[in-house]
Amino acid sequence: MAVDYAVIVVYLAGMLAMGWWGMRRAKSKAEFLVAGRRLGPWMYSGTMAAIVLGGASTIGGVGLGYQYGLSGAWMVFTIGLGLLALSVFFSARIARLKVYTVSEMLDLRYGGRAGIISGLVMWGYTLMLAVTSTIAYATIFDVLFDMHRTVAIILGGAIVVAYSTLGGMWSITLTDMVQFVVKTIGVLLLLLPIAVVKAGGFSEMKAQLPTEYFDPLGIGGETIFTYVLIYTFGMLIGQDIWQRVFTARGDSTARWGGTVAGTYCLVYAIAGAVIGTAAKVLYPKLPSADDAFATIVKDELPPGVRGLVLAAALAAVMSTSSGALIACATVANNDIWARLRELFGQREGRPDVAGERDEVRDNRAFILVMGIAVICIAIALNDVVGALTVAYNLLVGGLLVPILGGLLWKRGTVQGALAAMVVGGLTVISLMAAYGILANEPIYYGLLASLAVYLVVSLLTKPTDPAVLAAWRRRLAGEGPDGADGADAGADGPREPSVPATSTG
C-alpha cells in the first residue's frame, strides 16, 4: 500500500499547489467567481464533466450496476442527457446574460423581485450537495487508511475548502482539469477493462448472472422517469452547473464544450454499470451495493494502479464538492447577504480596483465560512441519500418551471414565478412528509402544481413591463445592461482582459 499512499499524497499536495497558483490569478470578482468568463473548449469540457460526475456518479454508479446490471447506468445517463440538453438549447443564452447566479437571471427576466425566494432554495440545494459530496470522503479514506469517519471528512473537506478559498473558480478549474484526467485514466482506462477481465469477460458475466442484469430497462420504467425528472431537469437549473456555463469564453464554447462533456457522461455511465456488473460476478454477496467500488479496487487492482483508481474516486468527489461549495458561497453572498445589506440601507461601493479586491475578499470569506459549515453538517449527518433527495426535490419542484418558463415563455410574470416557487416547494415538502422522502409522488405532483400555478397566475396578472422584457432581450443578445455589446460591458462592470483566439483554455 505504500505506493498507493504516495500516489494519493502527491495528488492531494498537487490540489493545494493549484489552489495557491489560482490565488495569483483571481484579482477580480469575475476572475474569482467565473474564471474571468474566458475558458476555452478544452478546459470548459473537462471542468464541466468533472463537476457533474461526482462521488454519486462514480461510487453510486458502480453500486447501481452491482444491484441492477447494465440498467444501473440510467442515473448517470440522465445526468449526461441533462447536460446535453442544457448545452444544446440553453447554454449560449445563459452565457450571454453575464450574471453570476440563477437568481440574478430571474431578477432580469421578471423585473427584480423573483430572486429572493429562489436564492434561499438554491442556497439550500447547493449546501446539501456540498455536504453529501463531503461525506463521501469517509468511504475513500477508510479504504486507504482505515481512517475514522470524522477525521476523513475533516481531512478531505479541509483540502477542498483550502484550494477553493485561495483561488476561487480559477483554482477549482485547474484542479477539475486534473481530476478529469485522473478519472478518465483511473475509471475508464484502468478499472473498466481490469474488472471485465477479472470477471472472465462478457460471456462469463452473462453465464453467471440473471438475464435481467443485461436488460437496458431492467431498473424499471418508473425509476428511469424519476431520474429524468430529478437529474435531467436538475442539470438545467442548478447554480453549480450554471456557474460553469458562466465561465465559457463564448457561445460556441458553451454549446460544443458542454456537448462533449455530456457525451463523456454517457460513456462514464455505461462504464460504471459494467464495472458494477463485473463486481457482482466477483463478489455476489456484498452487504451493500455501494461497497462494490471499494471492494473491487482494493482486492483486484495491483499497487500503484489501485492508488490511481482511488485517486480517481477522490477526484470525482472533490470536483463535485468544490463546485457545490463555490456555488453555495456565491448564492449566499450575492443573493442573500447582498439583499440583506440593501434592506438595511448599505449601498454597494464603486466598481474600482479597490472595490474589486473587496469583493474578492468577501467571496473568499463566504467560501471559508460555508466550507466550515459544510464540514460540520457532514460530520453530524447520516442520511446522505435522503438529504440529497430533499435538495433535488426542492430545486426541481420549486425552480424548474419559473426558470424554464422565463427562458421560453414571454407571457410569464413575476407573480406567476413567485407563486410557482411557493406552491411547488410547499407541495414537495408536504408530500415528502406524507409519502416519505424517497417516494416519487412529491416530485411528480410538485412539478404539476408548480406548472399549473405558473400558467394560471401569469395569465391572470398584468404582463411583464415591456421595458423589462426589452432589457432582457438585449441581455440574451449579448448586450450589456446599458445596451453596449456584452463583450465590452458585463453585468457588473468593465470588460475582463481578453484571451487570444488561439487559446484553448
157-181 pLDDT per residue, tens: 898 899 888 888 888 888 888 889 9
Residue type at position 403: I
Percent with pLDDT over 90 in the chain: 43
pLDDT of residue 312: 83
pLDDT of residue 495: 36
Element of type H or E holding 354: helix 353-380
Q: What residues does each domain of the chain span?
A: 1-342+361-381, 384-479
Higher per-residue confidence, 24 vs 325 = 325
Higher per-residue confidence, 278 vs 33 = 278
Judging by beta carbons within 10 Å of its beta carbon (0-12, 13-18, 19+), is residue 241 exposed, middle or buried? buried
pLDDT band at 489 (very low <50, low <70, confident <90, very high): very low
Residue 267 CB partners (closer than 8 Å, separation 6+): 188
pLDDT at 486 over 60: no
Average pLDDT over residues 116-141: 84
Residue 184 to residue 268: CA distance in whole angstroms: 9
pLDDT at 143 over 70: no
Residue 141 to residue 178: CA distance in whole angstroms: 19
pLDDT band at 347 (very low <50, low <70, confident <90, very high): low
pLDDT of residue 496: 36
pLDDT at 350 over 60: no
Higher per-residue confidence, 306 vs 356 = 306
Residue 43 CB partners (closer than 8 Å, separation 6+): 173, 177, 504, 505
Q: Express each pLDDT in 275-328 by its tens digit.
A: 999 999 999 988 888 888 888 988 888 888 888 888 888 888 888 888 899 999
pLDDT at 393 over 60: yes
| 3-state DSSP of 397-442 | HHHHHHHHHHHHCCCCCHHHHHHHHHHHHHHHHHHHHHHCCCCCHH
pLDDT at 490 over 50: no
Residue 73 to residue 59: CA distance in whole angstroms: 12
pLDDT of residue 255: 93
β-bridge mates for residue 485, sequence order: 479
Percent with pLDDT over 70 in the chain: 90
**Grid coordinates standing for 114?**
423573483
3-state secondary structure of 382: coil
pLDDT of residue 503: 33
Higher per-residue confidence, 194 vs 171 = 194
Residue 428 to residue 398: CA distance in whole angstroms: 8
Class of domain 1-342+361-381 (CATH, top level): mainly alpha
pLDDT band at 392 (very low <50, low <70, confident <90, very high): confident
